[in-house]
Amino acid sequence: MSEFGEIEGPVVRPRRLRTTAAMRELVAATTLRPAQLVLPLFVREGLTEPKPISSMPGVVQHTRDTLRKAVVEAAEAGIRGVMLFGIPEAKDAAGSGALDPDGILNLAIADVAAEVGDAVVVMADTCLDEFTDHGHCGVLTSEGRVDNDATLAAYAAMAVAQAEAGVHLVGPSGMMDGQVGVIRAALDGAGFSDTGILAYGAKYASAFYGPFREAVDSSLQGDRRTYQQDARNGQEGVREAVLDVQQGADIVMVKPALAYLDVLRQVRDAPELRGVPVAAYNISGEYAMVEAAAAQGWIDREPAILETLTAIRRAGADVILTYWAVEAAGLLR
C-alpha cells in the first residue's frame, strides 16, 4: 500500500507493451529501413577535391570521382536511391547547361549509373534553378516572371538528356503546371518508357531551404512564391499530387517534410493516390537545425536523427530523402 492509501489498480495497462526492448520491437508499428532512404548528393563542375558546405556539417559538394565513391558507400550501406544535383561553372538565363549532354549533371548521372548499375536507383533533379543566372526554376518573360509553358519545353529536353545519361527516375521539382505530363510524353516519345518520374507533387515555398541555396551556389534574387505552394494551403498539396499522378507520375513527393507532416499524411490517405508510393524530403534546413542543436549539446544527436526519420515514416512516407541516409543506415544496423 502506498502512503496515499490503497487503490484498485487499472485493468488496462498499456505500459505492459513497453516493459523491455524486445517487447517494444515486437509491437513497433512503424518500421525504418536503409532501403527506404535516398541520399541527396551534390556534384560541382571543376572541383579537384570535395568542398564542405558550411551550413550543412558533414555534407559536401563532390568532385566526379568522390561522387562515385559516395554512391558506392551508400550502396554498401543498404541505401537504394541517390538524388543528384549538379552545380555548373557557368550559368545563363536559359539554364542551357541542364540540357547539355556534357553538362555536369548529365556526366554525373552517367558516372553513377556506370558505377552502380541497377543496384541503386539513380535519380536526378530535373529543374533549371542550379543552371540559371537568375536562380529561378524556369525561363523568364521580358517582365521577369517565370514563363510556365516555355519552361515546360526545357524540362522535356532536360528529362530526355537525363534519360540518355542513364537516370532511372527524373525528379521535376520546379512546380510548373503540367510539367509531369510534358515530361512523360517526351520520355515516351524518345523511347524511354521505362524511365520513371518522381514528381515533387507538394513543394512549398519554405524558409527551410537556406542551406540548400548554399549547397548549389544559388543565384536566386527574390523568391519562388509564384510557383511554389503557399504554406497555408494543405489541400492544395493533395490536389497537386493527384494531378501529377493523373499526368503519369510514378512516385509523388512532399517537400519539406517536417513542417508539412500533416500534408504528407493527407497525401498518403488520399483515395486517388491509393497504391502510389509517397516520398518526403527531409530538407537542408531541417538537417541543419538538428546538427546545430547537437553541436551545442542541446539535444542527443543520434536519437534525434532516428526520431526525425521515424516521424516522417509514421506520417506516411514510403521513401525518405535525407542527408543522414548513410549514417542512419549504420545506426539502424
91 is catalytic: no
E strands present in the chain: 37-44, 51-52, 60-62, 81-87, 121-126, 169-172, 196-203, 251-255, 278-282, 319-322
> CA angle, corner 176, sides to 264 and 173, nearest 5?
50
Cell numbers at 87, concatenated = 552545380
Of 249, 258, 254, 284, nearest in space to 268 by CA: 254
51 is catalytic: no
Write the DSSP string, 12-69. Answer: --GGGGGSSHHHHHHH------GGGEEEEEEEETT-SS-EE-TTSTT-EEEPHHHHHH
Choice among 51, 69, 91, 255 that is catalytic: 255
Active site residues: 203, 255
